[in-house]
Structure 1
Amino acid sequence: MADLLFFTGTMDSGKSTLALQTNHNHSSRGRVGRIFTAHDRAGTATLSSRLGLTHDAAEVTEDLNFWNHVVGLLTAGGRVDYLICDEAQFYAPDQVDQLAKVVDELSIDVFAFGILTDFRGRLFPATARLVELADRMLTLQVEALCWCGERATHNARTEDGVMVTDGEVIVVGDVEPAPPSADDEPEVAYEVLCRRHHRRRLTAARARATSLTADPLPFG
């Protein structure tokens, strides 16, 4: 029996590294897979890890139908044993349904990797659907850490170092600061935070600026 597996964690928890490792493990045993991604930090049609590993991939666009795509490959005489689907939070919910159909009707394993919530702390529509449909959901064991040392559970977006909670849901960025820009566009970056500091919008930069070593008590 094939499975739809959903691996999740915050940014910087090694999801893309695991996706690449999963592909390596299966391909080295003679299985044939296809790799998909969307809005990867390294650019179009590339699956990249922060460790510096990359692999060619098919870009998941709005008009991609996974069911039609895989059936087309098989009809043309191709072989498909599994799919690696990175950055799955950016897929459409209908595409997640198509992946489930590939598993159920074609007995092809699907390994999906993505984050649960956006920078506002809300579920992505695609990951909500993955939670509903996946045979198993596995949280990555490599935990990203908030600046305070606690386990990071939320992804924060910053513009010029200030945490924001409004704006487009999909804005490509990374946890590493981008080079300074010559135009007037704000510098967009991401930071992983524990729930407490995400709720307080307390980033590492803000904590350093205010010389915080511990959170003040809410009374006094």
Structure 2
Amino acid sequence: MAKLYFRYSAMNAGKSTALLQVAHNYEEHGRVVRLFTSAIDHRYGVGIITSRLGPQRKVEVFDEVMDFYALLAQAQELSCVLLDEAQFLTPEQVRQLHRAAHVLGIPVMCYGIRSDFRGEPFPGSAYLLTLADSIEEIKTICACGKKATFNVRIDEYGKRIVEGEQIAIEGDVRYIQQCAQCFYLHRVPPLFDLT
């Protein structure tokens, strides 16, 4: 039985690396997969899933108007859908993917973060946490050594940013992962190389 999967973590946990590995595993056995990333994420170019470790791959992009169910209903011999930056899905798109898994029998694996730099949920992530048939946390650590569950936006000087738009793609701003204690105490370690 196909399912909708949500694999989430704080930033820098290896979500994109894991997604690319899953795609490789399917394709190594002659299976057909479709990979998507958000059109919003242009850090490494539009339509490119890139791991900070180096591996990257050109993929299809989705925006807020894409109808995943209609698109996947036309697919033939599709073994799996892999979706990076799933927090940018709309609630309706999450429903479409859930429906595709259960009606079309296509496993859908979504990778993303749960919350923004203020600790507020992304709508796509909130719906994934509600509808996903399987939810898995990919763990990473805070600079203090505890499990990181929050994402913190910092500027080019390493200063924490606490206000602004929910979405700001890396460039002039950067993100670090933190545990709850460091997040609430507004700790930003001075040991980050921001070059």
Task: Give me the whole-angstrom Cα distance separating, in 1, the residues matched to 2:94 and 2:167.
Answer: 18
Q: Who wins on radius of gyration, i.e. which is larger?
A: 1
Match of 1:204 among 184, 189, 194: 189
C-alpha distance in 1, partners of 2:129/2:42? 22
Question: Which residue of 2 is the match for residue 42 of structure 1?
Answer: 44
Structure 1 vs Structure 2: percent identity of aligned residues?
35
Q: Is the 8 A contact 1:159 1:189 kept in 2?
A: yes
Q: Write the distance in 2 (CA, Å) between the matches of 1:87 and 1:44.
A: 12
Higher relative contact order (CA 8 A, sep 6+): 2
CA distance in 2 between partners of 1:43 and 1:83 (Å): 21
4+ residue segments displaced more than 4 Å: none
Could you tell me how far 1:41 is from its partner in structure 2?
Answer: 2.6
Given that 1:7 and 1:114 are in contact with CA atoms closer than 8 Å, whether structure 2 keeps it comes out as yes
Question: Per-residue deviation at 1:201?
Answer: 1.3
- Residue aligning to 1:138: 136
Q: Deviations over 1:138-180 (max 9, x none)?
A: 111xx3222222221110001232111211111111xxxx6xx
TM-score (norm 1): 0.81
Q: Is the 8 A contact 1:92 1:126 kept in 2?
A: yes
User: How many residues of Structure 1 are paired with residues of Structure 2 in the alignment?
Assistant: 189
Give 1:71 deviation, angstroms.
2.1
> Gapped runs of 5+ residues in structure 2?
none
Indicate the residue corresponding to 2:118 in structure 1.
120
CA contact (8 A) 1:91 1:126 kept: yes
1:168 maps to amino acid: E
Structure 1: 5+ residue stretches without partners: 179-186, 208-220
Query: Is 1:190 aligned to residue 175 of structure 2?
Result: yes
Offset at 1:98? 0.6
